[in-house]
A and B are shown apart, each in its own frame.
Chain A
Amino acid sequence: MINFLEQTVNGLVNGGFYALLALGLAVIFGMLRVVNFAHGAFYMLGAFGAYVGLREFGLPFWVALVLVPVVLAALGMTLERTAINRLARLDPLYNFLFTFGLTLILQDLVKWRYGVNANPYEIPAGLTGTVHIGQFGFPAYRLFVFGFAVAACLLAWWLLARTRVGMVVRAATERPELTGALGIDVGRWITPVFGFGIALAALAGVLAAPIQAVNPLMGADLIIVVFAVVVIGGLGSVTGSVATGFGIGVAGAWAQAYAPPIVAQTLVFVVMAVVLLIRPAGLFGREEGVA
């Protein structure tokens, strides 16, 4: 029973990463109608940012946690202004392709400089211990990651539900033309929202650095799982992305612990197939024009 609990909590930790990434992807899509293939690359850059920050500049983890997402968000926003914006009036396919090309470039640039090997990054001091609740023991850092991910998602929810920016974003997501017709300047929020989405990806990357391999390809296969997560959750739905992210994390952990390996690897795709059959818009999505 304890073991089951440990596996579940572990699944929630993994789910946290999926949720953060799916959230960023959903927010960017909602606002810009761009499916950001490079999301995985920014996650990777976040982890590398932490690693390089420590190695070259001696930046401790807590500083990196704040600084790296800010820096990468700035980079993302520059990209949005110069390139993505230019493609916005075209078929969204082009932006998808552009971000794909960007992924190839970013991955190879990092590979060129740092090689493909995993780079070590230590768990920050203070979180290296284990938390014990009765018989249940779990590494402190992983619990921290889970907590942080939940907090970040709650913050995002609060931003969307309770602030003016959030209202604009939600309106622009559901009824872009109407929002514009009502005189609301959606445009000025596009770049910051993109930056916010990128910051979430980078944040996930920094959080991942101590527990996952910091290597140039760490985002590559992950992004495909995240795509499946958002298809399941409903691409325009923020709630859906987060809930599905955590759900898939837990389901995946259970599958890996109690089922043959093939189940764990293909689970998310099978679920996606089922969802497509029953509810093509996604579990939490609404039937939109994107259908």
Chain B
Amino acid sequence: MRVRRVLSGTVAAGTVLTLLAACGGGGPRGGGGSSLSGGKIVLGVLNDQSGVYSGLGGKNSVVAVQMAIDDFLAKHGDKAVTRDISVVTADHQNKPDLAKTDAQQMYDRQDVDAILDVPTSSAALAVADVAKQDKKLYFNIGAASDDLNGKSCNKYTFHYAYDTNMLANVTGKTATKNGAKSWYLIYPNYAFGQDMLRGFTTAIGSAGGAVVASAGSPFPNPTQDYSTLLLKTSGLSPKPDTLGVMQAGGDLQNVVKQYNQFKLKDQGIKLAVGLMFITDIHALGPDALAGTTFTDAWYWNANQDNRAFADKFYAKTKTRPTFDHAADYSAALQYLEAVQAAGTDDSDKVVAKLEGKTVNDVFLHNGTIRAADHLVTHDAYLAQVKPSSQVTEPWDYEKILETIPADQAFNPPSSDCHM
């Protein structure tokens, strides 16, 4: 069996090679966390590049961060604290354990000074833990959990872009004030969904509305079937006038599909979405969602400044930026500016430069980096999906109904946060 022998040999060789490949990185952890990085700055983009949230950030987040680096270097020229600034990236596949390992590898093996993005609340919280232990900076942009600026807050973690309370305050309160009085909430039955349920119930109640009923869907949901939950609406009394959907990403897309199939809109039940990205609208097509109101942290076509950024982004990626991309850009830039101001990448000194800072840039309007809980507050927007008849160019899906000022959009610091 000559073929067998050859194959066995190959297998054996392969085994040995794999075991030995890229050996190194062994030995005890040296020097702890925050040693000076030796004349360079390395930014790490850790997010989902192949899964349900890959459209939100994905590989294009790296592009956004690189744009920030380029703009920073262009602005400061030779006076920049260093010209050796690079980006590395990893895909955490929405798995918290993987995210934790990736974050550790980035800080330990790749000399990363600051990690950015990290969608999926469970992954985000895991990385916060690593940042705290390694004493290195972490700007979370992609995840919603308010625990990041609540009970899991720490000195090196900043919660940029949005949190579950902001979503509840903007969509929940505003929609209720505009006529949605009785709600039926459905949510994915895991931490994020349950946080959203809590937040929305509070927000709706404080605006004078009421939650008639709520129901959780399994997460993960193997059959992606929400029909049972949606059918419940006709049996509820009083009959709700609004369906609040807290599912995100692929789950959301299926809920919306089935909402349309069951013709709930014709039964007088409007659709409000807790968390939607422009990529969801793009995937479903605007007509599937026409008329739906939701919260957006940023919209590329809202004004000229946003559009200018979006055009530069489009030139590199052939797609329009989501709020995540814009926030990645903003956070990276703010970090680099803070390092420039501090003259060092020592984490504590950079944090000191960031805390309390007010910022107005392409992403943050009336933005503040709060010292108390490291939440970055800013103006948020209540948006509505346009029907395809009103869409004038690709990705032109949103109509901004209202701007919600920062202090109304975000909650005050939570008492659970102890830095």
Complex contact flag A–B (Cβ < 8 Å): yes
Cα–Cα distance between A244 and B289 once the two chains are bound (Å): 37
B54 — which chain A residues lie within 8 A by C-beta?
115-117
Question: Do residues A7 and B231 form an inter-chain contact, with CB atoms below 8 A?
Answer: yes
- Closest Cβ neighbor of B249 among chain A residues: A117
Is the CB of B253 closer than 8 A to any CB of chain A?
A: yes
Is the CB of B227 closer than 8 A to any CB of chain A?
A: yes
Is the CB of A289 closer than 8 A to any CB of chain B?
A: no
- Closest Cβ neighbor of A4 among chain B residues: B235
A276 — which chain B residues lie within 8 A by C-beta?
none
A95 — which chain B residues lie within 8 A by C-beta?
none
A36 — which chain B residues lie within 8 A by C-beta?
none
What total of chain A residues lie within 8 Å of the partner, measured CB to CB? 38
B343 — which chain A residues lie within 8 A by C-beta?
none
- Closest Cβ neighbor of A136 among chain B residues: B234
Question: Do residues B231 and A6 form an inter-chain contact, with CB atoms below 8 A?
Answer: yes
Which one, A6, A13, A213, A253, contacts B234 given CB within 8 A? A6
Which one, A118, A123, A257, contacts B254 given CB within 8 A? A118
Question: Do residues B218 and A261 form an inter-chain contact, with CB atoms below 8 A?
Answer: yes
Provided the pairs A115-B54, A117-B52 are in contact, do residues A212 and B224 lie with their beta carbons within 8 angstroms?
yes
Of the A-B pairs whose beta carbons lie under 8 Å apart in the complex, a sample of 29, sorted by A's number, is A3-B231, A3-B235, A4-B235, A10-B227, A10-B228, A14-B223, A115-B54, A116-B250, A117-B51, A117-B52, A117-B54, A118-B250, A118-B283, A120-B253, A120-B284, A128-B261, A211-B258, A211-B261, A212-B225, A212-B254, A213-B224, A215-B250, A218-B222, A218-B224, A221-B220, A221-B222, A222-B223, A253-B228, A265-B218
Is the CB of A78 closer than 8 A to any CB of chain B?
A: no
Q: Mark A12-56, 1 if CB is under 8 A from B, else 0.
A: 011001000000000000000000000000000000000000000
Question: Do residues A118 and B253 form an inter-chain contact, with CB atoms below 8 A?
Answer: yes
B253 — which chain A residues lie within 8 A by C-beta?
118, 120, 213
Interface residues of B in 156-202 (CB under 8 A from A): 189
Is the CB of A175 closer than 8 A to any CB of chain B?
A: no
Question: Do residues A3 and B285 form an inter-chain contact, with CB atoms below 8 A?
Answer: no
Question: Do residues A141 and B261 form an inter-chain contact, with CB atoms below 8 A?
Answer: yes
Cα–Cα distance between A257 and B218 once the two chains are bound (Å): 13
A141 — which chain B residues lie within 8 A by C-beta?
261
- Closest Cβ neighbor of B284 among chain A residues: A120
Interface residues of B in 219-253 (CB under 8 A from A): 220, 222-225, 227-229, 231-232, 234-235, 249-250, 253
- Closest Cβ neighbor of A219 among chain B residues: B222
Provided the pairs A116-B52, A212-B254 are in contact, do residues A220 and B262 lie with their beta carbons within 8 angstroms?
no
Provided the pairs A111-B50, A116-B51, A261-B216 are in contact, do residues A211 and B263 lie with their beta carbons within 8 angstroms?
no
B217 — which chain A residues lie within 8 A by C-beta?
261
Closest chain-A Cβ to B250's Cβ sits at a distance in Å of 4
Which one, A117, A120, A257, contacts B228 given CB within 8 A? A257
A-B pairs, 10 with minimum CB distance = A221-B222, A3-B235, A118-B250, A213-B224, A116-B51, A256-B228, A212-B224, A139-B261, A10-B227, A6-B231
Binding site for B on A (CB under 8 A): 2-4, 6-7, 10-11, 13-14, 17, 111, 115-118, 120, 123, 128, 130, 137, 139, 141-142, 211-213, 215, 218, 220-222, 225, 253, 256-257, 261, 264-265
Question: Do residues B257 and A211 form an inter-chain contact, with CB atoms below 8 A?
Answer: yes
Question: Do residues A211 and B231 form an inter-chain contact, with CB atoms below 8 A?
Answer: no
Which one, A123, A257, A265, contacts B231 given CB within 8 A? A257
Cα–Cα distance between A68 and B261 once the two chains are bound (Å): 24
B262 — which chain A residues lie within 8 A by C-beta?
139
Q: Mark B54-77, 1 if CB is under 8 A from A, else 0.
A: 110000000000000000000000
Question: Do residues A117 and B254 form an inter-chain contact, with CB atoms below 8 A?
Answer: no
Closest chain-A Cβ to B249's Cβ sits at a distance in Å of 8
- Closest Cβ neighbor of B266 among chain A residues: A130
Cα–Cα distance between A118 and B251 once the two chains are bound (Å): 8
A257 — which chain B residues lie within 8 A by C-beta?
228, 231-232
Closest chain-A Cβ to B63's Cβ sits at a distance in Å of 18
Cα–Cα distance between A264 and B261 once the two chains are bound (Å): 23
Which one, B216, B231, B254, contacts A10 given CB within 8 A? B231
Cα–Cα distance between A99 and B229 once the two chains are bound (Å): 34
B51 — which chain A residues lie within 8 A by C-beta?
115-117
Provided the pairs A117-B283, A120-B284, A141-B261 are in contact, do residues A222 and B189 lie with their beta carbons within 8 angstroms?
no
- Closest Cβ neighbor of A139 among chain B residues: B261
Cα–Cα distance between A253 and B235 once the two chains are bound (Å): 15
Question: Do residues B234 and A3 form an inter-chain contact, with CB atoms below 8 A?
Answer: yes
A115 — which chain B residues lie within 8 A by C-beta?
50-51, 54
Provided the pairs A211-B257, A256-B229 are in contact, do residues A2 and B284 lie with their beta carbons within 8 angstroms?
no
Cα–Cα distance between A10 and B51 once the two chains are bound (Å): 29
Cα–Cα distance between A212 and B263 once the two chains are bound (Å): 17
B227 — which chain A residues lie within 8 A by C-beta?
10, 13-14, 142
